[in-house]
Every structure is written in structure tokens, then in C-alpha cells.
């Protein structure tokens, strides 16, 4: 029997997928073709930071959609894993091979990790598969948990979203530890990456947050939704954007060109499990779950795009790089190139995904 559609999750998938594309379009403006951190002007810096920061919620929103739909697990564990394997892992493996072949990557590396020849965007899938492994284990607890207890765990997870900032503060106050360049927290060290908060941090928090919305949040009016979501989003957006923008090393003026490690450091506030991003994720989810219309636009546009969204995600880098980097970036102002590039990539990638899904017998294995 076909599973009942939850309309707002389809809207969420479409919106989050487009946000992912906006993020990857922004990357065309702070990485050069040699992989170094490079921003041409203050104009570019402002636009890419504010757009990218507004869209960092995209990946966690996908996790929350999975949590809302699948958690707690009600199917037998073997059946649950089989369905996730066919729906998520098999298309991932197929497209990892495609990217590896297209970029002449190392086939041996695929035995241990996603091929870096993909451009890096496939990292999301192993993370999601890891959460799927965890869901059946946590499901018996989720079925009986009280709201107060769940909020306690969410509060603890919320504390861990401060870690990117706490590491910077510790480093500024006390310098790097003797055994490495990275400030470690609460039990972390070079020979132990599993610190005290390892198992209550990371994307598992979004799993629990999505579950809280499903089980305890109830129905809110538009007024109540916006009163909570708008200030939460604005504060979170600022917390994501300002630390990046204010720390761009532009003392000597633009253009700024630095090693790749500079981008890693600046993206501290962009980490998906950092406080500002978590705030914007919650705000977006509050608003999107109010989108419940199931009329003609939903049936003919939103639902098909949502069903094709995983394939759109898998294929989009093949489209985005030549469209934005090769065509739009040299000819259009930065915000226009980013938005139009994301729109064109979304349209072409979605069309490709929809067509691939129509291939008899094998279409479902392509995303």
C-alpha cells in the first residue's frame, strides 16, 4: 500500500533542494579553480555570505524531514534497512561511480569513502545512512519518551552547537594544546576523537528536533508561527553570517586569495550543527510545516519535484559548475548569477532526474 503523502514535507524537500543549489552557487565565488579560498571583491563577499548563510539550513532540513516521516521506526528493522538501502544507498553508489568516472578519480578510494572526485557534495548520504542505522536503536525510547525529557536532550544537544565557538575562545585564551593545533574539548585528544558529548551532538539533534515537532509541537496559527520564527531566523542568520564576514582576511584589500584551510576556518559559524544554523533550521521548519495546500500546483509541480529531489541533488554538480562558473559568473552581477544559476541548475537537474526515473526497471535506482 502506498504511503500517505505529507504535503508540507514535499514543499520542504523542494525548498531545501533549491537552497542546496544556492549554497553551491555561492561556492563558485569563494573558491577558485585550484581549490584555494578566493574572493574577488567586497561586493562578492557580502552577497555570497548573506545568501549562503540564509541557506545553510538546507541539509539539516532534509534530516528533519526524514525524522518526521520515519522516526520512530514502525517497520521491522530488516524491512526498514532494505527500503532505505534501495531508496538511498543504491542511487548513491551509482552516482558515485558516475562522478568518479567523469573526473578520472581513484576507484580504490571508493572502498573506504565517497570519491572526492564528486566535488564533495555526496558527503551528505553516508551521514544520512548513519542516522538510519541509529533510528531502530532509538525508536523504543522515542515511543515512550515524555516531552520534558525530550526537551532536556534537545537542550543538551543545543549546548553542543556552541562547540565551534568554544574551540575558538579556548584557542584565543590558552593557545593550541601541546599535542596539536586544534583546541580539544571534554575528553577529545589526538588518540581519542570520542569526547564526552560525542553521542549527543551532531545531526542526531535534528533527528530529535524533527521528532519533537511531530509528536509534541501541535498545530500553531500563522501568527504564533511567525512571532516565533521570524526573530529566531533573523538572529540565527546574523550569527551564521557575521563571524564569517567579519573574519575575511582582507586587510590588504581585495581580491583575497588564501589557502583552502582559510575557508575551513571561516566556515566555523556555517557548520551545520552550530548554533546559528540550528536556529535558522527551526525557524524554517516552523514556517514550512504551515504549507499544506494540495491543489493543482502541489499535484503538478511540488510533488513531482519533491519525488525527484534526491536525484536532483545527486546530479546537480554536473550541471551547476558549467552553468554558473563557466557561463553566468563572467557575465552577470554576483547576486543575479547566484540566483539564476541555482534556478537554471534546479530546472535542468530536476528535468534530468524526472526523465531518469521513467527508465523502466532501473529508474528507481537512479534517485
pLDDT digit string (tens) for 298-343?
Answer: 999 999 999 999 999 999 988 998 888 888 888 899 999 999 999 9
Q: Which residues contact 21 (CB under 8 A, 6 or more apart)?
A: 316, 320, 341, 342, 345, 346, 349
How many C-beta atoms surround the C-beta of residue 331 within 10 A? 8
- Section 253-271 average pLDDT: 88
CA gap 314, 346 in Å, rounded: 12
Strand boundaries in the chain, DSSP class E: 37-39, 256-258
Q: Would you say residue 2 has pLDDT above 70?
A: no
CA gap 275, 264 in Å, rounded: 17
Q: Would you say residue 231 has pLDDT above 90?
A: yes
- Section 251-271 average pLDDT: 88
State whether the Cα torsion 40-45-46-51 is positive or negative: positive
pLDDT at residue number 192: 81
User: Strand, helix or coil at 312?
Assistant: helix
Cell 513531482 sits at which residue? Answer: 304
Q: Would you say residue 22 has pLDDT above 90?
A: yes
Answer yes or no: are the C-beta atoms of 354 and 26 closer than 8 Å. Answer: no
CA gap 112, 268 in Å, rounded: 26
pLDDT at residue number 178: 55
Lowest mean pLDDT among 15-19, 36-40, 233-237: 36-40
Give residue-wise pLDDT tens across range 77-136: 999 999 999 889 888 888 888 887 777 666 677 777 776 665 678 889 999 999 999 999
CA gap 253, 41 in Å, rounded: 8
Give residue-wise pLDDT tens across range 181-224: 667 788 887 778 788 998 999 999 999 999 999 999 989 999 99
As beta bridge partners, residue 314 has none
pLDDT at residue number 1: 38
Q: How confident is the model at residue 48 (pLDDT cuts 50, 70, 90)?
A: very high
Amino acid at each position: 500500500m502506498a504511503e500517505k503523502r505529507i504535503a508540507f514535507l514535499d514543499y520542504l524537500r523542494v525548498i531545501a533542494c533549491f537552497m542546496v543549489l544556492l549554497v553551491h552557487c555561492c561556492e563558485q565565488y569563494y573558491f577558485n579553480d585550484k581549490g584555494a579560498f578566493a574572493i574577488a571583491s567586497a561586493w562578492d563577499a557580502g552577497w555570497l555570505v548573506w545568501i549562503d548563510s540564509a541557506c545553510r539550513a538546507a541539509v539539516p532540513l532534509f534530516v528533519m524531514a526524514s525524522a518526521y516521516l520515519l522516526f520512530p521506526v514502525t517497520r521491522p528493522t530488516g524491512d526498514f534497512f532494505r527500503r532505505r538501502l534501495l531508496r538511498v544507498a543504491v542511487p548513491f553508489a551509482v552516482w558515485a561511480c558516475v562522478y568518479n568516472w567523469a573526473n578520472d578519480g581513484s576507484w580504490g578510494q571508493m572502498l573506504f569513502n565517497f570519491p572526492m572526485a564528486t566535488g564533495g557534495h555526496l558527503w551528505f548520504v553516508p551521514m544520512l545512512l548513519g542516522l538510519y542505522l541509529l533510528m531502530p536503536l532509538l525508536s523504543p525510547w522515542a515511543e515512550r519518551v515524555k516531552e520534558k525529557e525530550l526537551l532536556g536532550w534537545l537542550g543538551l544537544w543545543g549546548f553542543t552547537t556552541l562547540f565551534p565557538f568554544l574551540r575558538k575562545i579556548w584557542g584565543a585564551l590558552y593557545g593550541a594544546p601541546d599535542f596539536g593545533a586544534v583546541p580539544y574539548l571534554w575528553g577529545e585528544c589526538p588518540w581519542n576523537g570520542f569526547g564526552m558529548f560525542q553521542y549527543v551532538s551532531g545531526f542526531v539533534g535534528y533527528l530529535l528536533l524533527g521528532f519533537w515537532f511531530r509528536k509534541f509541537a501541535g498545530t500553531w496559527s500563522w501568527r504564533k508561527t511567525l512571532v516565533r520564527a521570524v526573530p529566531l531566523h533573523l538572529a540565527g542568520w546574523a550569527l551564521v553570517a557575521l563571524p564569517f564576514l567579519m573574519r575575511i582576511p582582507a586587510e590588504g584589500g581585495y581580491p583575497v586569495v588564501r589557502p583552502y584551510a582559510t575557508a575551513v576556518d571561516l566556515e566555523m559559524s556555517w557548520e551545520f550543527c552550530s548554533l546559528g544554523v540550528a536556529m535558522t533550521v527551526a525557524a524554517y521548519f516552523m514556517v514550512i510545516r504551515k504549507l499544506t495546500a494540495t491543489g493543482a500546483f502541489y499535484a503538478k509541480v511540488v510533488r513531482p519535484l519533491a519525488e525527484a529531489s534526491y536525484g536532483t541533488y545527486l546530479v546537480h554538480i554536473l550541471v551547476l559548475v558549467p552553468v554558473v562558473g563557466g557561463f553566468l559568473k563572467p557575465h552577470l552581477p554576483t547576486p543575479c548569477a547566484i540566483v539564476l544559476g541555482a534556478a537554471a541548475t534546479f530546472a535542468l537537474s530536476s528535468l534530468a532526474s524526472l526523465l531518469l526515473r521513467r527508465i523502466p526497471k532501473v529508474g528507481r535506482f537512479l534517485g
